[in-house]
Structure 1
Amino acid sequence: MNLFFGKAKSKTTAKDAIIKLRETLDMLEKREAFLEGKANNELKNAKLYATKNRRFKTYYIIVALQALKRKKVFEANIEKINGARMTIETQMMAIESANVNLETMGAMRAGAEAMKNIHGSMDVNTVDSTMDDIRDQMDIATEISEAISRPVGEELDEDELLNELEELEQEELDAKMLDTPAPAMDVPDVPSHEPSKFYFLLIPFD
């Protein structure tokens, strides 16, 4: 607390300012509606007295003129209120726009600080070193996996196994050839019944 100048004033936020301006705008709108009602009443009075009995024409004219003067005063105040309302509405829009810009800059600043904090603990050399470590560990994992999957015991010669497989295939082919019957020959059918007796006459020819 300042002992000489009293309590320091707190800063007005954009939200507080907009609330205050809206309250003022509502008050001006109500004031304008009130003055418009007064002006309309004075206009009615002026028309009423302007058409009164001509016997008191001078008096009624004075009263009508006074009503018109009051109407003009009310209308002048209404114009001033309209000007104030336009100023307040413009100011509100400016504050809202400025507040949006402020919020946007705050968000962007927070993002920049977050990126700075993230990148503060690493640089290109650190990243390269980390990637090298990852590659080394991946190579070690591959070697371990291959070692685990390698069969335990004496390894057999693949060439020897292939030769044995060929011998088995040849044996199988030979067995099939021996089991295959010889092709049948076309032999005419021999009749199974006794042939009929035929007698031939020998006729000499001259």
Structure 2
Amino acid sequence: MNLFFGKAKSKATAKDAIIKLRETLDMLEKREAFLEGKANNELKIAKFNATKNRRLALQALKRKKVFEANIEKINGARMTIETQMMAIESANVNLETMGAMRAGAEAMKNIHGSMDVNTVDSTMDDIRDQMDIATEISEAISRPVGEELDEDELLNELEELEQEELDAKMLDTPAPAMDVPDVPSHEPIARRRKSEEEEEAELKALQASMAPM
């Protein structure tokens, strides 16, 4: 605490400074309008007395020049204030931008404080493991319940059925016609007679051998 000069003044913020400058700018604009009115009035007096009273006309022109000089100074002050306001506004924007960026950096630091590359890699490995487990579970759920059939045995059985079908088709197909010479279905008469005579002779010989001596 300053015991000699009282309380220290608080630092002016950008917002407070801009408000104060705008108030000053409004005051200068009003002052400028007032002086312009005074200058125009002195010009009227000079014109009115130009041919009637040259001394009054000259005094009016002098006062007009003083008013115009003050107006020029006010214009310069207004230009300076407007430039200062733009500079403060730009600086305030930069300050706000920097504050937002600093807050973002702090947020990122807090986030990354509990996370590093190793943690991310470990998490991704866990995710992959869980996805593999989920895939295995899905496959186990979708697998049919019951005895699993041997695919090779089924294929062999199918090939046997196909072969049987081909064999059946080949048997059902008639053989192509061929020119075969006519063969008599009965024996020639001469051969048949000779055979009968031989059988008769054999029968007689058998009877003779069986007769009593």
Shorter-chain TM-score tier: 0.7 to 0.9
Within 1, Cα distance between the matches of 2:53 and 2:5?
Answer: 68
Q: TM-score, with normalisation over the residues of structure 1?
A: 0.74
**Residue 82 and residue 188 in structure 1: after superposition, are their counterparts in 2 closer, same or farther (change >3 A)?**
farther
Structure-1 separation of matches of 2:158 and 2:34: 114
Residue number in structure 1 paired with 2:211: 203
The residue that corresponds to 1:199 in the other structure is none
Greater Cα offset, 68-77 or 145-154: 145-154
Aligned counterpart in structure 2 of residue 183 of structure 1, from 176, 181, 185: 176
Pair 1:103–1:54, CA change in 2 (3 A): closer
Residue 194 of structure 1: CA displacement?
Answer: 37
Name the CA distance, whole Å, in 1 between partners of 2:57 and 2:211.
178
Q: 1:41 to 1:188 in 2, by over 3 A?
A: farther
After superposition, what is the alpha-carbon deviation per residue over 1:46-66, rounded to whole angstroms, capped at 9, x for unaligned?
Answer: 1221211799xxxxxxx1121
Relative contact order, higher structure (CA 8 A, sep 6+): 1
**1:33 Cα offset (Å):** 1.3
1:65 counterpart (58, 62, 65): 58
Paired with 1:98 and 1:161, the residues of 2 have a C-alpha distance of 85
Deviation track 1:131-178 (CA, whole Å, cap 9, x = no partner) reads 222222223233333333333333222111111111122223334444
Distance 1:102 1:171 in 2: 93
List runs of 5+ in structure 2 lacking aligned partners. 189-209
Q: After the TM superposition, which of the residue ranges 88-97 and 135-144 deviates more from structure 2?
A: 135-144
Q: Offset of 1:84 from its aligned partner?
A: 0.8
Distance 1:203 1:38, change over 3 A: farther
Residue aligned with 1:189, SS: coil
Shift of 1:183: 7.8
Q: 1:192 to 1:15 in 2, by over 3 A?
A: farther
Name the residue aligned to 1:198.
Answer: none
**Which of 154, 161, 168 pairs up with 1:168?**
161
Change over 3 Å in CA distance of 1:187–1:40 after alignment to 2 = farther
Could you say what the CA RMSD is over the residues aligned between the two structures, in angstroms?
10.2
Hey, which of these two has a bigger chunk of helix by percent? 2
**Cα drift, residue 26 of structure 1:** 1.5
Moved more, 172-181 or 121-130: 172-181
**Pair 1:49–1:169, CA change in 2 (3 A):** same
CA spacing shift, 1:14–1:190, aligned 2, 3 Å = farther
Taking the aligned partners of 1:134 and 1:149, their CA distance within structure 2 comes to 22
Q: CA deviation at 1:192?
A: 31
- One of 70, 73, 91 as aligned partner of 1:77: 70
Point out the more displaced range, 166-175 or 30-39.
166-175
Q: CA deviation at 1:75?
A: 1.1
Structure 1 residues 54 and 68: alpha-carbon distance in aligned structure 2, compared to 1, 3 A threshold? closer
CA shift in 2, pair 1:151/1:53, >3 Å = closer
Task: Tell me, in whole angstroms, the C-alpha distance in 1 between the residues paired with 2:31 and 2:17.
Answer: 21
Q: In structure 2, do the counterparts of structure 1 residues 105 and 185 end up closer, same or farther at CA, with 3 Å as the change threshold?
A: farther
Structure 1 unaligned blocks of 5 or more: 56-62, 196-201
